[in-house]
Every structure is written in C-alpha cells, then in structure tokens.
Amino acid sequence: MITKRTHLGNIVITKQFFSELIGRTIISCFGVVDMNADGAKQNLLESLPFLPKKSQIDKGVSFKIMNDKLYIELHITVMYGINVASVVKSIQHKIKFAVEDEIDFPVERVNIYVDGIKA
C-alpha cells in the first residue's frame, strides 16, 4: 500500500489499484502486444489450470517504494517491425506521467524488460 499524508488526513492507495493503473497505461501504448509474467509466483499462478483466471491487466507489473520514491518494473512483448527503443521511451514517459498525475507520487525509475517479439 502507498500512504500519502496530507493536511486533511491520510490517503491510502492499494497495490491492486496501482498495478491496474500501470497495466491499463501500458496496454494503450502503441507497439505493446502483451504483458509477461515477471516472476516465479506469476508463472506458477498462470500455469495452474484449476485456479480461476483473474484480470491479467497487472501481469508483469512490479514496483517498490524506497525513500518515498517509486521504482517500477515492467515485462512486455512488443510488435515485430517497430523501433523498440522509441516504444520503450514512450512507455516510460507515459507511466511516469500517469502515476504522477493520478496519485501525485514521485517516480524515480521505470525499468522495462522486453521479453519477446510477436508478428
């Protein structure tokens, strides 16, 4: 949870809201085909067929807060034939703007891992 103190009280933002905000921003970016699982836990949950499937909008999104600054990591698959560097820069700017605009929390770094390319 992200807690922000104001003169009127505390604002608490859940990890689920934050992950969905980032996921929806990424999916709207040109060149992004899919989000990829970012760790053993997400890979395991994806592979179990008997578990109900929840929204995959936050798949591949992880973040941590250190010294009141946000560090975001994303795992994506991009479209074949695009300039990957420009897509990644665009995503970094959009994520930083969306987070700082919506929740007014400083983003220190957005690391993007391109895990695959699809035609």
Domains of the chain, residue spans? 2-118
Task: Give the type of residue at 33.
Answer: V
Distance CA 61, CA 118 (A): 20
Q: Where are the beta strands (DSSP E) in 1-119?
A: 2-6, 9-13, 32-35, 61-66, 69-79, 107-118
78 pLDDT band, cuts 50/70/90, is very high
Report the pLDDT value the prediction gives residue 77, as an integer from 0 to 100: 92
Report the pLDDT value the prediction gives residue 82, as an integer from 0 to 100: 93
CATH class of 2-118: alpha beta
Report the pLDDT value the prediction gives residue 117, as an integer from 0 to 100: 92
pTM of the full predicted structure? 0.80
Q: For 4-24, give one letter per residue: b (16+ CB within 10 A) or e.
A: eeeeeeeeeeeeeebbebbbe
Q: In this predicted model, what pLDDT tens digit does every residue of 7-48 receive, in sequence order?
A: 999 989 898 888 889 989 998 899 999 888 776 555 556 665
